[in-house]
Structure 1
Amino acid sequence: MEIELRKNAVKRIRSGNPLLVMDDLMIELTTFPKKWITFVDQQKKYVAAGYLGKQNKGIGWILDREQRIIDVQFLTERFQQALQRRRAYFNDAATTAFRLFNGEGDGIGGLTIDYYDGFLVLSWYNETIYDLSEAIITALNQVCPHKGMVEKIRFKSERQESRWLSGEKPAEPFIIQENGVNYAVYLDEGYMTGIFLDQREVRNRLIEGLAAGQKVLNMFSYTGAFSVAAAIGGASETTSVDLAQRSLPKTAEQFEVNGIPLDNQKIVVMDTFEYFRYAARKGLTYDVIILDPPSFARNKKKTFSVLKDYGRLIEQGVELLNRSGKLIVSTNAANFPIQKFKQVVEASLKEKDTTYQLVEEYRLPPDFAAVDQLAESNYLKVLFYDVKKKNNGDE
């Protein structure tokens, strides 16, 4: 099947951008064909091949610009290339979980594959790539030996969100390692496994002792992976705060699988802004505060959006920071550009009458391959600030 593209789309695709949006097509489609498509210019000349499938990023992806047939052999080569790029991870005994294939960054938008010590977790982000999955899984099986495979359906569907595909399920919790630290994961428990692999480098800085001897507050803590890393790195005390009831047993488990007593590790189930108020009333302060909120969250009648509310989050967080401290701020919102993110953070720090210095910055680690020509492909932004509150006429 051939579909004609508009001039601007042809130019953008030829420059290396793999994302298709609705305005790129010369025809209007109400449904998308569940097949590979050849895209041509207005002279009917070949531009690229790929597919159409609606997801949060546009309506489709380009896979080929060299007039190759997209078949099992083509897909096998893509997976071979991805595995070759990650050879260092396979050879690292201290890290047994990483991103094996990262969608458009590795040449097949709409699909990610994570490696958990021999097990594969496939995530499908639109209906079309899921319907084309037979060839993809055939190619993957030829290239990457594994103990088992589970899939996650990350688009609107009546299918169950997590389904075991092959191999025997491991006993859970399944323990993986990252930079020598143990993490308990659950491969077939909804969308999330218990750890966000894209934050590996940030956790490693905490393991290295960034917060040694200091009190750490980890907000939106999920299963407490940052807190565990900080404790391993010598933090004197950690406090993990998350609204989800499951966060308490899940976080306790992460400490337990590392043999860390819970005496100096506090786990609080509470709304973030409620905790800010609670801590202020109790006079609690911290040396390091980690803010890693979801892009969007709803709590009863309240909603949180990083684009709208991150500034308020910074301002209330700073209230709990000691006179001199560190603020680690993070967002995975693809529609929040890095410069805009910095502006929001620093405007809030100025509003709180602080002096500050951006000392470290992290984006996606190498296994989360991104596309330079598609800014939102490199979605993760993590900033480390040294912050000092002005007081009594300080300059």
Structure 2
Amino acid sequence: MKKITLHRGKDKAAWQLHPWVFSGAIQEVDDKPRNGDIVKVFNNDREFIAYGVYNAHSRVAVRLLEWNQQYPIDEAWWRNRIRRAAELKIHLLTGQNNTVRLIFAEADFLPGLIVDKFGDFLSVQIHSSGIEAVKTIIVDELVQLLKPKGIYERSDLNARQHEGLPDTNGLLYGDMPSEFVDVIENDIRYQINIIEGQKSGFYCDQRDNRSLTAQYVKGKRVLDCFCYSGGFTLNAFKAGASSVVSVDSSALAIETLHKNIGLNGFNPTMHRAIQADVNKYLRQLGEEGEKFDVIILDPPKYAPSRSALDKAARAYKDLNRRALLLLESDGLLATFSCSGAMDIDTFKQVVAWAALDAGKEIQFIRQFNQPEDHPVRASFPEGEYLKGLLVRVV
């Protein structure tokens, strides 16, 4: 096994179980390991720190896997990790929920691997060369444990470019998913598109937050922005919203939403689905004098890195300002950020600035987080990416 030696003073994070070793921390690489090879990582005094996966192509040159030298990274290690991660989430699968994130990358000690269960199918994303090298082991273990109808790979990610990997989409096992796969979340039925939908096909990270937000919508006029396949919209109708306007720029999202409204038997006359740029549509609603009781903002990631944080903060502020202008006294704004680079305190400040610019006084009445199947590892706080606020206009 090849060896990696870290610069003196650059080993603190690795000792503290952080899974990333950046290229600048490396003093010496022995014997030119190939991308995806398992390596031993040592400090400057030649003390063993951890086993990891090497990739010279990536800024994260080593992704650490195991800190106990007595447990080398072999096939049994991979199988044990996959099984343990999945078994810790299986209890979330009930008659009311058959969608769950079974494996959440670094948080589950499997950096670069995402596995979502959607009904009878699994959707897999592979971000790193180390996971790519053991793909057949992963698939075999998932089949043995879960016996899915099919496993489909959606590895068309920017992260793969940084790892020197090409995009890969396709069937890994079993039956090809149909165009729309039936799933249940919060006792609501969805048809989702695993093959062409966004990310892995469905955002199960908002499962709890959809249910929590729905507690406030009975008899209310709701505006659901960046609605995608209708998670917040459908939960709002189930909770008794008087009407919902859903907005997304994606034609596929709007098509899927229409299917899901009908699938659950909700009254289509109480619903409007708008294909439009959300910021432009919010501006249009303001010019038309429209008002809502509850507005939901669940935008895509505006800050992919800390270097983009200032620009993202301005975008979040403008988006929330436009939404707040459409709310009267006692109106509620459920606003979210999935940018890991923006922490909750910064997000609160951005929303406070938005309220100030909108001439609104607000109260923060609830904070939202990512659910149990998206855990945050203590040694890897970067895994905490999803946060939200429920805001009341007073």
Contact 1:55 1:125 (C-alpha < 8 Å) held by counterparts: no
Amino acid at match of 1:101: I
Write the letter of the residue equivalent to 1:79: I
Say yes or no: does 1:284 pair with 2:290: yes
Please tell me the residue identity of whatever aligns with 1:308: R
CA distance in structure 2 between the partners assigned to 1:280 and 1:308 by the alignment: 19
Matched to 2:98, the amino acid is T
- 2:361 is paired with a residue whose SS is strand
Query: In 2, distance between residues paired with 1:151 and 1:112?
Result: 10
Percent sequence identity over matched residues?
Answer: 24
- What is the alpha-carbon distance in structure 1 between the residues aligned to residue 321 and residue 253 of structure 2? 25
Contact 1:89 1:95 in 2 (8 A): yes
Counterpart AA for 2:196:
E
Shift of 1:275: 0.9
Q: Secondary structure at the match of 1:246?
A: helix
The 1-side partners of 2:145 and 2:42 are apart by: 31
Say if 1:54 and 1:127, in contact at 8 Å, map to a contact too: no
The 1:191/1:283 distance shift into structure 2, 3 A limit, reads closer
Task: Tell me if structure 1 keeps the 8 A contact 2:107–2:375.
Answer: yes
Cα separation, 2, equivalents of 1:305 and 1:252: 34
2:142 is equivalent to residue 135 of structure 1: no
In the alignment, structure 1 residue 76 sits paired with structure 2 residue 88: no
Q: Which amino acid aligns with 2:142?
A: L
For residue 305 of structure 1, report the CA deviation from its aligned partner: 5.6
Counterpart among 200, 203, 208 of residue 201 in structure 1? 208
Structure 1 residue aligned with 2:244 = 238
Paired residue type of 2:250: A
2:378 corresponds to 1:372: yes
1:84 to partner: Cα distance: 2.9
Q: Residue 382 of structure 1 is aligned with which of 385, 388, 393?
A: 388
CA, structure 1 residues 152+184, in 2 after alignment: closer, same or farther (shift >3 Å)? same
Q: Is residue 315–residue 352 contact of structure 1 (8 Å, CA) maintained in 2?
A: yes
Structure 1 residue 12, shift from structure 2 partner: 1.2
Deviation at 1:373, TM superposition (A): 2.5
Aligned match of 2:340: 334
Q: 1:295 aligns to what?
A: 301
Shift of the alpha carbon at 1:56?
Answer: 9.1
Q: State the superposition RMSD in angstroms.
A: 2.5
CA contact under 8 A between 1:34 and 1:132: conserved in structure 2?
no
Alignment of 1:42-61 (within 5 A): 42-53=44-55, 58-61=60-63
Distance 2:122 2:280 in 1: 38
Residue-by-residue CA offset, 1:205-227 (whole Å, 9 max, x unaligned): 244x3211101111122222211
Structure 1 match to 2:101: 99
Letter in 1 for 2:99: A
Is structure 2 residue 83 aligned with structure 1 residue 65?
Answer: no
Of residues 303, 308, 313, the one that matches 2:319 is 313
Q: 1:87 to 1:131 in 2, by over 3 A?
A: closer
Which structure 1 segments of 5+ residues have no match? 298-303, 389-395
TM-score normalized with structure 2 length: 0.89
Which of 19, 33, 37 is residue 35 of structure 2 equivalent to?
33
Structure 2 distance, partners of 1:214, 1:248, is 22
Which of 66, 86, 89 matches 1:86?
89
Structure 2: stretches of 5+ with no match in the other structure: 304-309
Contact between 2:75 and 2:137, CA under 8 Å: does it hold in 1?
yes
Structure 1 equivalent of residue 307 of structure 2: none
For the 8 Å contact 2:249–2:275, the answer to whether it is kept is yes
1:187 matched to 2:190: no
For normalisation by structure 1, the TM-score amounts to 0.89
